[in-house]
Amino acid sequence: MKANPYSADCPTRQILDRVGDKWAVLILLLLRFEALRFNQLRRGIEGISQKMLSQVLKSLERDGLVKRRAIATVPVTVEYSITPLGKTLAAAVDPLRDWAETNLKEVLAAQRRYDAQQHTKAA
């Protein structure tokens, strides 16, 4: 049976949800080059709460995209690294990051035009 992501019960949607999660994408892109500790990730991604970072890391680990390693120190140090599968996803989403950076000015200009039109209609 072929996957149909337009079907409500298709498992493909779970994966697309992960790809569409800004926090998951940012975590994967940070881990592309080196393993990082929890607090390094938190400092590296402005605006993410400790709770959200923990939840997303658990989801990424469950999906096989990130590996968690506890290091026997006092207190215990936890390090996260990207898996080979995670690297393939990071490689797939990095062009989206690049697109966003390249087209940021144009998108912001379009938003301003739209907002100005809505304001004019409301007046």
Q: What are the structural domain ranges in the chain? A: 12-122
Q: Rounded to an integer, what distance in angstroms lies between the CA atom of residue 81 and that of residue 33?
A: 9
- The DSSP secondary-structure symbol of 19 reads H
Strands in 36-37's sheet, in edge-to-edge order, are 36-37, 77-82, 66-71
Percent of the chain with pLDDT over 70: 99
Which 3 state secondary structure label does DSSP give 66? strand
Q: Mean of the pLDDT values across residues 23-46?
A: 96
Q: Is 113 a residue whose pLDDT tops 80?
A: yes
Dist CA 65 CA 22 (whole Å) = 15
Please give the CATH number for the structural domain made up of 12-122.
Answer: 1.10.10.10
Q: How confident is the model at residue 9 (pLDDT cuts 50, 70, 90)?
A: confident
pLDDT at 19 > cutoff 90: no
Q: What pLDDT does 1 receive?
A: 65
Q: What is the pLDDT of residues 68-106, one digit of tens each?
A: 999 998 888 999 999 999 999 999 999 998 999 999 999
